[in-house]
A = this chain, B = another copy of it.
Amino acid sequence: MTHMDDRTLTSSGFYVSQEAPIHTDDPIPTPSAPAPDILRCAALDLVVTDLAASREFYVDVLGLHVTEEDDDAIYLRTTEEFIHHNLVLRRGPMAAVAAFSYRVRSPEDLDRAVAFYTELGCRVERRAEGFTKGLGDSVRVEDPLGFPYEFFFEAEHVERLSWRYDVHCPGELVRLDHFNQVTPDVPRAVRHYQDLGFRVTEDIQDEGGTVYAAWMRRKPTVHDTAATGGDGPRMHHVAFATHEKHNILAICDRLGALRRSDAIERGPGRHGVSNAFYLYLRDPDGHRVEIYTQDYYTGDPDNPVVTWDVHDNQRRDWWGNPVVPSWYTDASRVLDLDGEPQPLVARTEASEMAVTIGADGFSYTRPEEESMPAWKQGEYKLGNQL
Taking beta carbons and an 8 Å cutoff, which residues of A are in contact with B? Answer: 10-14, 39-40, 80, 82-83, 103, 105-106, 157, 159-160, 162-170, 172, 174-175, 219-220, 243-246, 249-250, 252-262, 264-266, 268, 270, 272, 275, 277, 282, 294, 296-297, 299-304, 313-314, 318-321, 324-327, 330, 357, 365-366, 372-376, 378-379, 381-386
Asked if residues A159 and B11 are in contact (CB atoms below 8 Å), the reply is yes
Name the B residues within 8 Å of A106 (CB-CB).
301
Known A160-B304, A375-B324, A383-B386: A252·B319 in contact at CB below 8 Å: yes
Known A375-B282, A385-B385: A318·B261 in contact at CB below 8 Å: yes
Name the B residues within 8 Å of A383 (CB-CB).
385-386
Asked if residues B386 and A314 are in contact (CB atoms below 8 Å), the reply is no
Known A103-B300, A169-B170: A262·B385 in contact at CB below 8 Å: no
Name the B residues within 8 Å of A219 (CB-CB).
220, 297, 299
Asked if residues A261 and B319 are in contact (CB atoms below 8 Å), the reply is yes
CB-contact partner of A249 in B105, B270, B384, under 8 A: B270
Asked if residues B256 and A164 are in contact (CB atoms below 8 Å), the reply is no
Name the B residues within 8 Å of A175 (CB-CB).
297
Name the B residues within 8 Å of A10 (CB-CB).
159, 163
Asked if residues A157 and B12 are in contact (CB atoms below 8 Å), the reply is no
Q: In the complex this chain forms, how many copies of it are found? A: 4
The A interface is mostly helix, strand or loop, or mixed, namely loop
Q: A175 vs B378: C-alpha distance in the bound complex, in angstroms?
A: 33
CB-contact partner of A304 in B157, B302, B326, under 8 A: B157
CB-contact partner of A257 in B12, B80, B82, B375, under 8 A: B12
Name the B residues within 8 Å of A252 (CB-CB).
270, 318-319
Report A367 CB to chain B, min CB distance, Å: 9
Q: A134 vs B155: C-alpha distance in the bound complex, in angstroms?
A: 44
Asked if residues B253 and A318 are in contact (CB atoms below 8 Å), the reply is yes
Asked if residues A40 and B299 are in contact (CB atoms below 8 Å), the reply is yes
CB-contact partner of A244 in B246, B256, B260, B300, under 8 A: B246
Asked if residues A105 and B301 are in contact (CB atoms below 8 Å), the reply is yes
Give 4 closest A-B pairs by Cβ, nearest first: A261-B320, A326-B375, A256-B318, A165-B253
Q: A255 vs B261: C-alpha distance in the bound complex, in angstroms?
A: 27
Q: A195 vs B105: C-alpha distance in the bound complex, in angstroms?
A: 19
Asked if residues A254 and B375 are in contact (CB atoms below 8 Å), the reply is no
Asked if residues B321 and A264 are in contact (CB atoms below 8 Å), the reply is yes
A sample of 21 inter-chain contacts (CB < 8 A) reads A11-B164, A39-B301, A82-B304, A160-B296, A165-B257, A166-B254, A168-B170, A168-B250, A243-B244, A243-B294, A252-B270, A253-B270, A261-B365, A262-B320, A264-B320, A325-B378, A326-B374, A330-B374, A357-B386, A382-B386, A383-B386
Q: A80 vs B274: C-alpha distance in the bound complex, in angstroms?
A: 12
Report A358 CB to chain B, min CB distance, Å: 10
Asked if residues B265 and A299 are in contact (CB atoms below 8 Å), the reply is no
Report A318 CB to chain B, min CB distance, Å: 4
Asked if residues B319 and A256 are in contact (CB atoms below 8 Å), the reply is yes
Asked if residues B256 and A314 are in contact (CB atoms below 8 Å), the reply is yes
Name the B residues within 8 Å of A257 (CB-CB).
12, 163-167
Asked if residues A163 and B256 are in contact (CB atoms below 8 Å), the reply is yes
Name the B residues within 8 Å of A244 (CB-CB).
243-246, 294
CB-contact partner of A381 in B166, B253, B386, under 8 A: B386
Asked if residues A297 and B385 are in contact (CB atoms below 8 Å), the reply is no
Q: A270 vs B251: C-alpha distance in the bound complex, in angstroms?
A: 12
Name the B residues within 8 Å of A169 (CB-CB).
169-170
Known A175-B297, A220-B220: A366·B255 in contact at CB below 8 Å: no
